[in-house]
Structure 1
Amino acid sequence: MTTDTAKPGFPRSSPYWPVVSHPLLRRVLPGLAVSALGDGMALVAVTWLALQLAPPGQRGTWIAIAVAAYTLPSAAGTIVFGRLLSGRSGAQLAGWDAILRAAALAAIPAAHLAGALTIGLYVTLLAASSLLHSWGSAGRFTLIAELLPHRHHLPANALVSTIAGTATVVGPPLAGVLIGYAGAVWVIALDAVTFAVLALTYRLAIPAVDRTDPAADPASRTAGFGVIRHDRSLLGLLALSVGFFFLFGPVYVAMPIHVAEDLGGSATVLGVYYTAFGVGGVVGSVAAGYLRRWSLWPTLVGIVVGFGAALLPLGLGAPIAVSLPAFALAGLIWAPYMATSMALFQRSTSTTMLPQVLAANGAVTVLAVPLGTMLGGPLVTAVGARQTLLLCAAATVALGVFTGAVAILRRGIATSPAAGIG
């Protein structure tokens, strides 16, 4: 075999090489990593600062409001800013989201220094910071579609998920150390700095390009929803995602009670479960890049069924020695879902409409987990924590099986132009 025909060795043979070696994307990835670490720390800091600011008898309520404020307003932002942001490039959308996040979060320590930070102002600033979140997420994946051919979309999406997943493992314990040293408000200030770094990265690394005149399309405010509504494959994907995320919501309520009451464990044991899930998620995100030749719809259905099956040991009351590895496996199976579903959107939608479509998808799916979590409270009260986990696991398996059956009956997998990557 000659040198010209020899198969390239690692890392050039990796599906991630075209992503990390791309002349523009390689400039953005460090900024994404820094920002993801800041968001990983914010998972702890946002709730801890709410705990400190809330009146003693209302802490639980205000913590829930703060968590919701950090995510849910993005659904409204998708519609409110739809006409303004239509036709913008992926880098512009992601950059503006980073700018707003940096400014709103920086206002929190500024108000603290001025002695004006109340729980009401805190929640308001968190809500303001999240208004463009769906557009920012859409911008990241649109940028990938703009810069890379279809065959590299899944590895690029998986790399973004890997960065985020790693941050959720490293960020929370780091936040705990920093909160003990300086306080939660300064961890949020650090998060603001990371978003400022990300905004500067987008501004300097990617040339600014306006692809269309946003004022030329009077219906652009909800154009993304219209595209999804008229595409059977994308509508089915949205329904699957909403169901999948909704059924995971009650797990957040059931897991702490299951560990404490059914397994007799401590908060440390609960932390080990979540760490195992996070580590499994990082491994699954890395593995997702190697699935680029798999058909997308069967992969998504398999993820849903596999995730539900991995949750079954917890619902069946298995001991920690069994349920802990099963929860780690659930994290591994869960992780490729986002990268794969984004690849389906990227293949099915033009880059011109992709930001609106992804923002619309994000506006709907961002509501699914909180709604499922809200259901978790009365469900756990009615049937118990272990039984709630069992119901969620069984319903998730059923959702995947039903979706697969419908896809086969309608020949969606065989006839859709977005059926596969290869």
Structure 2
Amino acid sequence: MKTYLTVLRIADYRILWVGALVSLIGDGASWIAMSWLAVTTGGAGSLTILGLCYSSPIVVGGLLAGKIIDRFSRRKLLVADCTVRGAVMLSVPLLALSGLLSMWHLYAVAAVYGLLKILPIGIIPTVIPDLVPKRHLSTAIALESIATNAAGLLGPAIGGALIPLIGVNWVLAVDAVSYFAFALAVLGMKARLDKPGHTVAGAGSGAGRGAWAPVVTFLRTDRVMLVITVAFTTFNVAMGMLIVAQPWLAHERLPGGATMLGILVGVLACAEMAGSVLAGLIPPAVRPMLRIGVLQLVAGAGLLFLLGAHPALVLVGQVVCGIPAAVLVVSSQAVRYERTPEALRGRTMTLMRTLMLSALPVGSVIAGPLLGSGQYTAMVLVMVVLAGGPGLLSLLFVRNAVVNARTSEPVGTASSR
């Protein structure tokens, strides 16, 4: 834990980390509040529409964010995002007080959230290398993952506890305050978080900071980055299937109903947090793609425990999957930092995270029909292949790639490693 304390003693990183953690906890609480408001006001149909508004705009948001994240000050973008989303969240309790709140207002709020969600998701990892020494980069990445997992546990719990105490609408006001607090925290940082100061040499006219062409070319020609993108996008399809499988198991196969669902979600979240903590304590690998490939195979194999739908084995399977999955996420992000040119870093991180997040609903689309037709075993096997199979890409094609292979290479030549 001394390593974590060392990183948290870096003032600007600590301010950013704490501010992001508070905001993420507020997001978790606000989703509980909005979903509860939707289901109690408009029933299951309203909840479905809300979910689509909440998650679907992330693809458009990712494309738009890539156009600005390397062109403008990251500090100003974070402050603007927090201010806009805070004001939008605050509009719900204000409209409720005036008696003007309708369901379409809630849908609009969810859509704005989904549209802007990718901005901090893309910006925060982009600026981490500018805030911490290189030797502590893995720990700083792990702390970001820990904050996300902790918020996933605490946010919904806090939201559920606050609803009967202060009312569902005012939980959204609390989230608005968390956004404004994050904006003030960013303004209090000494680091300016400026836009990149240069473009990629030799990238041609497409190297403008708002262009996607150099990013796509970089990901396509750098074999390591291509493998990471394909492997993690596919892995997230499997995780999207697991999100659907959890409530189905709790309702159809496992005892305990909603209580069991809470246990399933909680155990997976705890396993992922444990993996994030572990990732920050272990030294970086000389050949990280070898580690990543093995970890992804182990994570995929862990899902085999879901076969048979025995309660204890399902929980074990989620732990065996969740811990290595979190470690490989941190390891892969360190590789991405090393191989991505600084002028492309914002767009590259944004595009990769947009692809990975967009893969989650794809998994839901695959799992739903399989479970609906009684093909649970087939669903698990598909999930295992999607989660673990891409680990073979790392082992077969890039297992010997070293972490700093791209340091002295121009874009487009790293694939020879």
Instruction: Please give the range of the TM-score, normalised by the shorter of the 2 chains.
Output: 0.7 to 0.9
Preserved CA contact (<8 Å) 1:249 1:368 = yes
- Deviation (angstroms), 1:270: 1.6
The match for 1:36 is 24
Pair 1:206–1:131, CA change in 2 (3 A): farther
2:411 maps to which residue? none
Question: Measured at CA, do residues 374 and 110 of structure 1 come closer, stay the same or move farther in structure 2, by a change above 3 Å?
Answer: farther
User: Which secondary structure does the structure 1 equivalent of 2:3 belong to?
Assistant: coil
Structure 1's unaligned 5+ residue stretches are: 1-10
- Deviation of 1:325 after TM superposition, in Å, equals 3.0
Q: Mapping of 1:289-300 within 5 angstroms? A: 289-294=280-285, 295-300=287-292
Q: Indicate if the aligned counterparts of 1:20 and 1:26 stay in contact, CA closer than 8 A.
A: yes
1:371 — aligned with what?
362
Q: Which moved more, 1:111-120 or 1:342-351?
A: 111-120
Alignment-derived partner of residue 138 in structure 2 = 154
3-state DSSP class of the match of 1:341?
helix
1:77 aligns with 2:77: no
Which runs of structure 2 are paired with 1:338-417 in the superposition (5 Å)? 338-408=329-399, 412=401, 416-417=405-406
Task: Tell me the alpha carbon deviations over residues 154-207 of structure 1, each in whole angstroms, 9 at most, x when there is no partner.
Answer: 110110111121122222222211112233322222112111111110111144
Question: Any idea what SS the aligned residue of 1:208 has?
Answer: coil
Alpha-carbon spacing, 1:197–1:214, altered in 2? closer, same or farther (3 Å): farther
Distance 2:334 2:130 in 1: 13
TM-score by length of 2: 0.86
AA of the residue aligned to 2:293: V
SS of residue matched to 2:256: coil
Match of 2:151 in 1: 167
Conserved 8 A contact 1:105-1:188: yes
> After TM superposition, what 4+ stretches of structure 1 lie above 6 angstroms from structure 2?
213-217
Equivalent residue letter for 2:298: G
**What amino acid does structure 1 have at the position aligned with 2:149?**
G
Shift of 1:71: 3.4
The count of aligned residue pairs is 400
Q: CA deviation at 1:133?
A: 2.3
- Could you say which residue in structure 1 is the equivalent of 2:39? 51
1:306 aligns with 2:298: yes
Q: Could you tell me which residue of structure 1 aligns to residue 123 of structure 2? A: 139
**What amino acid is the match of 2:317?**
A
Shift of 1:334: 2.3
Q: Which residue of 2 aligns with 1:249?
A: 240
Instruction: Give deviations 1:263-286, integer Å, cap 9, x for gaps.
Output: 343110121121111111221111
Distance 2:241 2:290 in 1: 26
> What does the per-residue CA deviation read over 1:12-51, in whole Å, with 9 as the maximum and x for residues that have no partner?
xx33233111132122232122112212323422322221
Q: CA deviation at 1:351?
A: 2.8
The partner residue of 1:334 within 313, 322, 325 is 325
Within-5 A mapping of 1:201-212: 201-208=185-192, 210-211=194-195
Aligned counterparts of 1:355 and 1:143: Cα–Cα separation in 2:
8
Q: Which runs of 5+ in 2 are unaligned?
A: 200-204, 408-413
Q: Which position in structure 2 is the counterpart of 1:4?
A: none
CA 1:95–1:353: 2 relative to 1, 3 Å: farther
User: What root-mean-square deviation, in Å, do the aligned CA atoms of Structure 1 and Structure 2 show?
Assistant: 2.7
Partner residue in 2 for 1:98: 82
Structure 1's 172 and 79: CA in aligned 2 closer, same or farther, altered over 3 A?
closer
* Amino acid across the alignment from 1:174: I
Distance 1:402 1:207 in 2: 39
Any idea what the Cα deviations from partners look like across 1:341-360, whole Å, max 9, x if unmatched? Answer: 22122111133321111111
Q: Secondary structure at the match of 2:11?
A: coil
Greater alpha carbon shift after TM alignment, 246-255 vs 67-76:
67-76
| CA distance in structure 1 between the partners assigned to 2:126 and 2:326 by the alignment | 20
CA distance in 2, matches of 1:276, 1:206: 38
d(CA) in 2 for partners of 1:146, 1:414: 18
Q: 1:212 deviation in Å?
A: 5.5
AA aligned to 1:311 is L
Shift of 1:373: 0.9
Specify whether residues 268 and 134 from structure 1 end up closer, same or farther in structure 2 by C-alpha distance, changes over 3 A only.
same
Query: Is residue 28–residue 202 contact of structure 1 (8 Å, CA) maintained in 2?
Result: yes
Q: Tell me which residue corresponds to 1:187.
A: 171
Instruction: Letter of the 1:119 partner, please give it.
Output: M
Q: 2 CA distance for matches of 1:341 and 1:67?
A: 29
Distance in 2 (CA, whole Å) between partners of 1:147 and 1:413 is: 24
Match of 2:223 among 225, 229, 232: 232
CA shift at 1:213, angstroms? Answer: 8.3
| d(CA) in 2 for partners of 1:143, 1:164 | 17
User: For 1:383 and 1:392, how far apart are their aligned partners in 2?
Assistant: 15
Shift of 1:78: 2.9
Distance 1:243 1:15, change over 3 A: same
TM-score by length of structure 1 reads 0.85
* Cα distance, 1:131 vs structure 2: 2.3
Contact 2:66–2:346 under 8 Å retained in 1: no
Amino acid at match of 2:288: L
- The equivalent of 2:104 in structure 1 is 120
Shift in Å, 1:324: 1.8
- SS at the partner of 2:316? helix
* DSSP 3-state at the match of 1:42: helix
CA distance in 2, matches of 1:225, 1:62: 38
CA separation of 1:23 and 1:334: change in aligned 2, threshold 3 A: same
* Alpha-carbon distance change, 38 to 62 in structure 1, aligned in 2, over 3 angstroms: same
